[in-house]
Amino acid sequence: MASKIVEVHPGIYEIFLPLPMRPTIINVYLVDCHGAWALIDTGMNSPESIGTLEDTFRQVGIELEDLDVLIATHHHIDHFGASGQIRSRSHATTHIHKLEAARADRMLFFGRMGPADRPESRPFFEKHGFPIEEHSASGMRPAWMGTQMYFPVTEPDRFIDDGDVIEVGDRKFEVIWTPGHAPGHNVIFLRKEKVMIVGDHLLPKITPHVGIYPDAGEAANPLGDFIESQKKVQRFDAELILPAHGGVYHDHRHRANQIIEHHRCREDEMLDLVRGKPQTAFEVAQQVFGGEERPIFHVMAATFETLAHLEHARIEGRARRIERDNRVLFQTL
């Protein structure tokens, strides 16, 4: 069996935890702070994932109960889902951004209710062209929703924000706020070691989902935030980049440029489609992401990611928004 833990830098361990969905692995990072231990992100609260954490911790000579500090990049299940379990066993001081703690809390409040189950969000689906009446709401939420697999800390010990430095033993974890994929997403930077733990912000092979959801508010521009956050991390000097999915790598500036370019090209494709004929986010998504049979959950994510692109283009003056018959259409300027 392949080892589930690798020392990627002296005293910094990458642990591979299983996920029941794609991507199938999340990397979390255990840091020996010489006298204390810190963990960045948690995996899901499944028996397999917790078991892997226990086994790998033992390989470096500690128990899960010995953990001192927990830092989360954002509230998503694969990053923060086991935080409640880990904190109750270890009493680790738990850190997350305020916006993310609020989202974790909301997720628990809604329980099994996905966005499509909430009556107040139906007009949002409809105006963006999504045929919500044709699909059962249950198909639009992930299977883990409302289960024990998501067991987040809802009252963290500390909220973290841009520029904070969390001192643990002889390590200093700097917080770089990188909104986009999630509004309170943070990259954790070890300046002395030149190591950057990037969460989902800067993945080596895939790009994280960036979407506008019904509860986002009128001023939301998550794609604009995401691109700004890509430029922001380029201002830091790092030599080893530790992502939440995929292999460790070295050149974060190069990868950030690729991600910015990738989104620019995708926007060009979308604007090409709505140059002659105004269309809804749903219609554009069907063409750019493919309209073939796919889980409706993915169609929803594609629609809201397309909306994030079109809104970004509108805010930057490359597209306009037309409201017609309770539909929002976009057209290239």
Partner 1 sequence: MVEKTIELTGISANSVEDAVQLAISRAGVTIKGINAAHVEDISAIIENNRVLRWRVRIKATFLVKDELHE
Positions in 55-114 near Zn ion (CB under 5 A):
76
Q: Are 244 and 73 in contact (CB under 8 A)?
A: yes
Positions in 258-317 near partner 1 (CB under 8 A):
258, 261-262, 264-265, 268-269, 272-273, 275-277
Distance between CA atoms of 98 and 184, rounded to whole angstroms?
Answer: 7
Is 130 strand, coil or helix?
Answer: coil
Distance between CA atoms of 108 and 105, rounded to whole angstroms?
Answer: 5
Q: Are strands 319-324 and 327-332 parallel, antiparallel or unpaired?
A: antiparallel
Q: Closer CB to partner 1, residue 49 or residue 230?
A: 230
Q: Closer CB to Zn ion, residue 14 or residue 200?
A: 200
Write down the least CB distance from residue 32 to Zn ion, Å.
26
Taking CB atoms, the residue at the shortest distance from Zn ion is: 76
Write down the least CB distance from residue 35 to Zn ion, Å.
31
Positions in 230-259 near partner 1 (CB under 8 A):
258
List the single partner that 277 binds among partner 1, Zn ion, none, CB under 5 to 8 Å by kind: partner 1
Q: Are strands 158-159 and 93-96 parallel, antiparallel or unpaired?
A: parallel
Residue count, binding to partner 1 (CB under 8 A): 12
User: Considering only CA atoms, which of 324, 286, 321, 325 is closest in space to residue 333?
Assistant: 321
User: Considering only CA atoms, which of 193, 195, 194, 181 is closest in space to residue 305?
Assistant: 181
Contacts of 218 (CB under 8 A, 6+ apart): none
**């037309």: which residue's tokens?**
322
List the single partner that 158 binds among Zn ion, partner 1, none, CB under 5 to 8 Å by kind: none
List the single partner that 25 binds among Zn ion, partner 1, none, CB under 5 to 8 Å by kind: none
* Residues lying near partner 1 in the complex (CB under 8 A): 258, 261-262, 264-265, 268-269, 272-273, 275-277
* Residues lying near Zn ion in the complex (CB under 5 A): 76, 200
